[in-house]
Structure 1
Amino acid sequence: MSVGKRATRPWLPPRWFIRLAWSVHRGLYRVFRGRVGLWRPRANGWGALRLTTTGRRSGQQRSVILGYFEDGPNLVTLAMNGWGAGEPAWWLNLQTHPDATVDLVDGQRPVRGRAATGDERSRLWARWGEIDTNLDGYAALRSSETAVVVLEPRPGASDTLPGN
């Protein structure tokens, strides 16, 4: 941000509303059996995927719908917890059990999740900033750095990727 510009705090709806919106989105996905709720990234935009992780304590499958963009064969998302404090449970699960699956409009992919670091994180964060111009303002609402999560095709699973 340049000197002389005032930082404006981005507006977020109340936490209860964010949680309700997530529940409705998941419900629509379930009711329509995956035909509604996921989409490909639009030009200079983001898409929606369904990530299924293994619970770090329960060992049970846990699913969440996330925004993403494509970076070559990788899918990139943010561990933002609705811009609230703390890490989202899916990210904690992925750190313990990095192998997961994603459902996309064109099918399911086995992936391995990891945090982007260094130059890669900077590059991917900047790309998110092109998609969401308020990204830095939202990130400033959090007490810790927001992880940029890279979902890479799982080694040995390339034959299951859509289009192959």
Structure 2
Amino acid sequence: MSALGTLTRRLGHQRWFGATMRLLVPADRLVGRMTKGRVVAFGLVPTLVLTSTGRRSGKPRSNPLVYVPDGDAYVVIGSNWGQQHQPSWTFNLLANPAAEVDVKGRRIPVTAEQVTGEDRERLFQRLVQEWPAYRTYVERAGGREIRVFRLVPNA
């Protein structure tokens, strides 16, 4: 891991970091589009772009998310940087699990499954290994359960 990646993971625990990153998400989306998905999250952590269907608008909604692989699937978490409310994309997936991920420039249709129980705990631990600040986000969110999803490629 690069020194910048290590620094970013350490800074991820700071409250100001989440607020700053929320402001940078539009720029990150632009960089992702310009590089056809090859560079997302400024290349610092494994990131995909999830495109779900807005549950109210019916329009495509794209969000860059840190992920860990789980076999052929991708695992993401609705941390919302530790805010008190769930991110909108998690509600979109619950309403319509058909989605698409852009991983390293490849667009892949997926079906989202919310992960629960022991499987959720196992995958949460893997996510924390990739982005340790997720533990801080749980504390900051008042201990509310943060949703974890497995994005399974369609056959």
1:1-164 equivalences in 2 (<5 Å)? 10-13=13-16, 16-37=19-40, 46-143=45-142, 144-154=144-154, 158=155
Separation (CA, whole Å) in 1 of partners of 2:100 and 2:57: 17
Amino acid at match of 2:78: A
Q: Which has the higher contact order (CA 8 A, sep 6+)?
A: 2
Separation (CA, whole Å) in 1 of partners of 2:25 and 2:149: 19
How many residues align? The count is: 142
Structure with higher Rg: it is 1
C-alpha deviation, 1:35, in angstroms:
4.3
Separation (CA, whole Å) in 2 of partners of 1:128 and 1:38: 16
Q: Unaligned regions of 5+ residues in structure 2, if any?
A: 1-12
Separation (CA, whole Å) in 2 of partners of 1:31 and 1:132: 25
For normalisation by structure 2, the TM-score amounts to 0.80
Q: Unaligned regions of 5+ residues in structure 1, if any?
A: 1-9, 159-164
Q: What is the SS of the residue equivalent to 2:61?
A: strand
Separation (CA, whole Å) in 2 of partners of 1:68 and 1:104: 10
**CA-atom RMSD in angstroms:** 2.3
For normalisation by structure 1, the TM-score amounts to 0.76
- 134-143 vs 100-109, greater mean Cα deviation: 134-143
1:14/1:31 Cα in 2 relative to 1: closer, same or farther (>3 Å)? Answer: same
8 Å Cα contact 2:99-2:110 kept in structure 1: yes
Identity across matched positions, percent: 32
